[in-house]
Amino acid sequence: MPSSPPRILSISPPDPGGASLWVAASPALAEIPGVGLVLRLLVDGDSAVALWLDDLEDTGATVIVHARTPDGARLAAARGLGLHLPSGVDPAPWRARIPGLLGASCHDRAQLERADGVCDYATLSPVFAPTSKPHDRRSTLGLHGLARACSGLDLPVLALGGLGPGNARGCLQAGAWGVAGIGAFGAPELLEQVAAELA
C-alpha cells in the first residue's frame, strides 16, 4: 500500500465555480504542513478536470480524486493519484487498480470495518453539523460517536463534517487520524489555524 495519508484533507466544493476558486487557492493550501487535496466535482462532462489536476499536481501535495468526479477513476489510475470512493462502494475491487492512496467515505462503524485492511484511509461523517451542507439533517456522531467508531481499527480515520478551527484537536484526542473538510478547509488562513491545532 502507499504511504500514510495526510492528516488534513482539503476537499473541493462540488460545483465548477467553487472548484475553480479552490484550485486557484491550492498552492497556498499545499504549503500548509500535512495537507492533501481532494478534487470532488459532481458535474458530468467538465473538460476542466484534467487541467485542474495538472495544477493540483504542480503544488507537490498529495492529490486524490473523488470517484464521482467526471472520469475520476480513470484519471486517478492513469496519473498514479489517489482515489476516494463514495459511501456504499466495495473498495476491494479497486485496490489493485489504484496505485495511489485509496480512501472511502464512511458514515458508521460497519462501513469503516469494511474499509479496514483494504483502504489507506477513510473519512467518517458527519462528526458535527456540516457547514457546507446547511440542509443536511443526518444525526451527528459527536466526539463520543467518533471515538466509538474508531476504536480498535488499524484504518486511519479522518473526521469530516463541521470541522474548523476550535474543534480539530478534539477529533484527534477522540482517536481520529486527522480531519477533512470543504468550507474552512478551502481558506488558507483558516486551514493554517486547523494545522496549528494538530501540531
Task: Give the domain CATH number at 167.
Answer: 3.20.20.70
Burial 124-133 (b: 16+ CB within 10 A, else e): bbbbbebebe
Residue 118 lies in a domain: yes
Instruction: Give the range of the structural domain holding residue 194, as residue numbers without chain letter.
Output: 8-198
Q: How many domains does the chain have?
A: 1
The pLDDT of residue 131 is 72
Using one digit for the tens of pLDDT, what is the confidence trace for 148-161?
A: 999 999 999 999 99
Q: How many residues does the chain have?
A: 199
Would the pLDDT of 39 be above 60?
A: yes
pLDDT score, position 3: 76
Please give the torsion angle defined by the CA atoms of residues 68, 74, 76 and 77, in that order, rounded to the nearest 10 degrees. Answer: 140
Q: What's the pLDDT band for 132 if we cut at 50, 70, 90?
A: low
- pLDDT band (50, 70, 90) for residue 134: low
pLDDT at 23: 96
pLDDT in tens, 86-126: 999 999 999 999 999 999 999 999 999 999 999 999 999 99
169 in a domain, yes or no? yes
> What per-residue confidence (pLDDT) applies to 44?
64
Confidence at residue 2, expressed as pLDDT on a 0 to 100 scale: 64
- 138 located within any domain: yes
Return the bridge partners of 73, or none: none
Residue 40 lies in a domain: yes
In a domain, 3, yes or no: no
- Is a pLDDT exceeding 80 seen at residue 138? no
| pTM of the entire predicted model | 0.94
pLDDT for 128 beyond 70: yes
Mean pLDDT, range 48-71, rounded to an integer: 95
* CA separation for the pair 63, 80 (Å, rounded): 9
Tell me how far CA of residue 97 lies from CA of 69, 82, 100, in angstroms. Answer: 17, 11, 9
Mean pLDDT of the chain: 93
